[in-house]
Structure 1
Amino acid sequence: MYRPAGRTLAPRTLATAAVAAVALAAVPAATPPAAANEGNPTVLAWGAGRTGQLGNGSTADSLSPASVTSLFRGDVDKMSAGGSSSSDSFVLALTDKTVKAWGHNSSGQLGNGGRASQAVPATVPRLNGIKDIAAGGSHALALDDRGQVYSWGNNAYGQLGNNRTGESRTVPDRVQLPPRVSQISAGCDFSLALLENGTVYAWGRGVHGQLGNGSRALSSVPVRVKGLDDIVEVDAGCHHALARTSGNTVKSWGYNLYGQLGDSSTTSSSVPVDVDWLEGVVEIDAGADHNYVRTNDSRVWGWGSNQYGQLLETDEDFANGTLRTNRTAPIEIRRLEGVQHMAAGARHGIAVTADKVFTWGDNSEGQLGNGTTTPRYSPVDILDQGSAIKDVTASLGGNTSYAY
């Protein structure tokens, strides 16, 4: 459970820590925190709202959690929030093997055949039997229970995997991949698919090495990520990727300006590298430029961009002269010990326990949900007992948060 922070940087000897379109129109202010708490069964959203990504019929920002229109937590199996910024954010929700979408749509990323943005959830046609979803920068993926992948939206870099570039699609179309796919993830401009045999395929832009195949060229068809044959989970950041192995260690590849590869360097890599000293990892979450992992002893570790306090280093560290600098290798985030799930946004974080939701980091558009736009370098409790939140997510490159 949440507890006061201790020292953030644990020594390497602690490495065993396992770990139909609706027109956009302004409406009255969003639901205040009290109404979004106990007894409210809806999915909750807060932060930037300019593209309708809050799903409440409004384009206004919300500084506190507000209900997503007609979308109930008990019906939602998974959510994925995309966008490369708050100006193009959109959201997918998996409900009873179908997909709902809302938000920005200029590239057809809502999958409804049009390009008009919409501010309330609507069903994506032509998708049935879906078991996984992924929202990228301006494209989207879905995986059905036969192990087949579908893509739609922006295709400037071949991120739809249809052997073409530059032609966006406004409806889902099948991606040709080896059988069978077990999980998908989408970055700002590339896509990932994890096969049941533990191998990983990538397609889209490769300039930062984010395809992991040893090249920096784009690929409009899926190519195999080098050296990965025992992977059980993948997650894409904006221009980098993480993979969890069957031995519960972590691999990374792609862009590394902020240390988001976690290998004690800032050198980007076009092939997977080992994230330093992590063992026993049971969950990975890649944000735009920072990452969190949870280990099997309920501890949380993070690395990458830290300019907005994303890694929750303690105030006493700063008093002792420690700078809020990016971290190129994992550090323990003791303030998050015991959380059940985490989400890394563009410049903020979210965590959920059995009965609480915490947020921290940048708050320029209200993405912390505490009624202000003031950044927080320690966790703020925004949803208390009775909220019954099972998971959280955040826009890939934007400033919107979701709890479901």
Structure 2
Amino acid sequence: MTRFDLLSWGANSHHQLGQSVESEQCVSPVAVNLNAVLGLIESEIEIKKVTGGAGHSLILDVNGNVYSCGWNAKGQTGIPGSQSYLSEFELIDKLKDVVIVDVACGWDSSMAIDNKGNLYVWGSNAYGQLGVRSSKIGNKAVIESPEKIDLQDFESEPIKKVSMGLRHSAVVTISGKLLVAGNGNKCQLGVIDSSNKPVRKIHTFTQVHDLSGIKSVACGQHHTLVQTNQGNLYAWGDNRHGQLGFDPIAYPSIASPSKLENINIGLNGEIFTGWTHSAALHDGKIIAWGRNTYGQLGRAELNKFQRNWIPELVKNKECHFIQLAVGSEHNVALTENGSVITWGWNEHGNCGNGTEEDVRLPVPIEMPKLGRVQLVGTGAGHSFAVVKYREDQENR
């Protein structure tokens, strides 16, 4: 029988690591006992995705079940109750009768998509980031358990992609429309009003009309990055650190979608955003741009005159990357040979190398030698890896 372990490390001030213990941080990977936590016999859970927000985490398994743990003061775990946090992963009961295919976390809110393209939202809606204003739910500041949104304005068109930033969200419809909601005080929504000014807040999902044929979207702290079906990238929002891929001196912010020239990541590329940096994974290579204060670009130099807004390759001797997960200011990548590589902000041990010093250059971290890492994930300041063991590796 195949067995899977979930390892977690980094910030744990709200029990977001799911380790059943309260601690400020965990600086090296530690296994989460999912069998005991989820009441499973052997290891029946195979994880498809693991991600997190500021202080909460979500697991999506291959059967479409969603589990959560961590900070719950604003309902972001999707499990209502009086407790301010969940110390162990628990099944989100409200979603057990649907098949979820993707999940996303904002700072203190969450979203999910089912296999029919329906969108579910829960957690903080203080800035309209859940896109909820209906007769059924109302314009609530907090939604304690998942509620399905009816996108009537778009003929209930199925959703295929979802992303959440600090206080704004974006979804991509099956036809390639981009819809946004939430806070737009830094132009991160990309929506212009009738007086040609950036819209500062939207409580219901609204289309960004300058775009079509969108494949995927990634929301940062105050910026947004999209990928088209042709592999082109467009960005908008805050650009003080060059996170949009444009010179921040000339363009401190950009109000509407602007194409990044000379970058095309093809049909199989993927895009990612941290709080103030951006990245793309394409053909085994990672390209990054934006803020590098903590080494989040994987570049050792911190010269203030360096043009970090120009996308460059993240260099590592184990250069064929197959997965990337980006936290607020740190990165976790998986290579073809199963190595986990981390770099960037490490104040809470979120890089997993046993220290609290920032990691300027990508370095591998220690993982179980008998298993093979299948998947990596991140929250704002915490990280995950899923390790698969064969039957002959059970007795470690």
Aligned partner of 1:125 in structure 2 is 93
Task: Say whether the 8 Å CA contact 2:242–2:289 is kept in structure 1.
Answer: yes
Aligned partner of 2:373 in structure 1 is 389
Aligned partner of 2:76 in structure 1 is 109
Give deviations 1:121-147, integer Å, cap 9, x for gaps: 001122121111011111110111111
Give deviations 1:325-357, integer Å, cap 9, x for gaps: 572221222327311111222222111113100
Aligned partner of 1:55 in structure 2 is 18
Give deviations 1:286-319, integer Å, cap 9, x for gaps: 11111111223x32210111011111225xx67x
Q: Calculate the TM-score normalised by the size of structure 2.
A: 0.84
Aligned partner of 1:284 in structure 2 is 271
Task: Say whether the 8 Å CA contact 2:319–2:335 is kept in structure 1.
Answer: no
Q: Measured at CA, do residues 198 and 73 of structure 1 come closer, stay the same or move farther in structure 2, by a change above 3 Å? A: farther
Aligned partner of 1:347 in structure 2 is 329
Mapped to 1, the partners of 2:165 and 2:298 lie a distance apart of 24
Find the residue that maps to 1:389 and give its secondary structure.
strand
Task: Say whether the 8 Å CA contact 1:160–1:175 is kept in structure 2.
Answer: no
Q: Residue 175 in 1 paired to residue 143 in 2?
A: no
Task: Say whether the 8 Å CA contact 2:100–2:115 is kept in structure 1.
Answer: yes
Q: Measured at CA, do residues 64 and 275 of structure 1 come closer, stay the same or move farther in structure 2, by a change above 3 Å? A: same
The Cα shift of 1:253 comes to 1.7
The Cα shift of 1:280 comes to 2.7
- Letter of the 2:286 partner, please give it: V
Identity of aligned residues (%): 29
- Within 5 A, what are the aligned runs for 1:34-183? 41-60=4-23, 61-70=25-34, 75-83=46-54, 89-95=55-61, 96-116=63-83, 117-127=85-95, 128-163=98-133, 165=139, 167-177=141-151, 178=154, 179-183=157-161
Aligned partner of 1:327 in structure 2 is 308
Give the alignment partner of residue 301 of structure 1, picking from 272, 281, 287: 287
Mapped to 2, the partners of 1:387 and 1:74 lie a distance apart of 16
Mapped to 2, the partners of 1:59 and 1:98 lie a distance apart of 26
The Cα shift of 1:167 comes to 2.1
Aligned partner of 1:206 in structure 2 is 184
Task: Say whether the 8 Å CA contact 2:168–2:183 is kept in structure 1.
Answer: yes
Aligned partner of 1:14 in structure 2 is none
Task: Say whether the 8 Å CA contact 2:179–2:208 is kept in structure 1.
Answer: yes
Find the residue that maps to 2:278 and give its secondary structure.
strand
Task: Say whether the 8 Å CA contact 2:181–2:204 is kept in structure 1.
Answer: yes
Mapped to 1, the partners of 2:222 and 2:352 lie a distance apart of 27
What are the ranges of 5 or more consecutive residues in structure 2 without an aligned counterpart?
36-42, 193-197, 387-396
Aligned partner of 2:254 in structure 1 is 269
Task: Say whether the 8 Å CA contact 2:29–2:352 is kept in structure 1.
Answer: yes
Find the residue that maps to 1:126 and give its secondary structure.
helix
The Cα shift of 1:362 comes to 2.0
The Cα shift of 1:243 comes to 0.9
Mapped to 1, the partners of 2:354 and 2:9 lie a distance apart of 10
Aligned partner of 2:353 in structure 1 is 370
Task: Say whether the 8 Å CA contact 1:307–1:324 is kept in structure 2.
Answer: no
Q: Measured at CA, do residues 325 and 58 of structure 1 come closer, stay the same or move farther in structure 2, by a change above 3 Å? A: farther
Task: Say whether the 8 Å CA contact 1:90–1:101 is kept in structure 2.
Answer: yes
Find the residue that maps to 2:8 and give its secondary structure.
strand
What are the ranges of 5 or more consecutive residues in structure 1 without an aligned counterpart?
1-38, 84-88
- Letter of the 1:188 partner, please give it: L
Mapped to 1, the partners of 2:140 and 2:222 lie a distance apart of 19
The Cα shift of 1:161 comes to 1.4
Task: Say whether the 8 Å CA contact 2:49–2:377 is kept in structure 1.
Answer: no
Task: Say whether the 8 Å CA contact 2:224–2:235 is kept in structure 1.
Answer: yes
Task: Say whether the 8 Å CA contact 1:305–1:326 is kept in structure 2.
Answer: no
- Letter of the 2:329 partner, please give it: R
Mapped to 2, the partners of 1:253 and 1:184 lie a distance apart of 17
Give deviations 1:242-269, integer Å, cap 9, x for gaps: 1111111211122222111112334222
Q: Calculate the TM-score normalised by the size of structure 1.
A: 0.82
Task: Say whether the 8 Å CA contact 2:172–2:214 is kept in structure 1.
Answer: yes
Task: Say whether the 8 Å CA contact 1:263–1:276 is kept in structure 2.
Answer: no
The Cα shift of 1:217 comes to 2.0
The Cα shift of 1:237 comes to 1.3
Give deviations 1:151-195, integer Å, cap 9, x for gaps: 111011111211254520101111222311111111111111111
Mapped to 1, the partners of 2:159 and 2:255 lie a distance apart of 23
Task: Say whether the 8 Å CA contact 1:182–1:194 is kept in structure 2.
Answer: yes
Find the residue that maps to 1:63 and give its secondary structure.
strand
Aligned partner of 1:220 in structure 2 is 203
Mapped to 2, the partners of 1:209 and 1:374 lie a distance apart of 33
- Letter of the 1:263 partner, please give it: F
Aligned partner of 2:195 in structure 1 is none
Task: Say whether the 8 Å CA contact 1:303–1:326 is kept in structure 2.
Answer: no
Q: Which moved more, 1:248-257 or 1:143-152?
A: 248-257
RMSD (Å) for aligned C-alpha atoms:
2.1
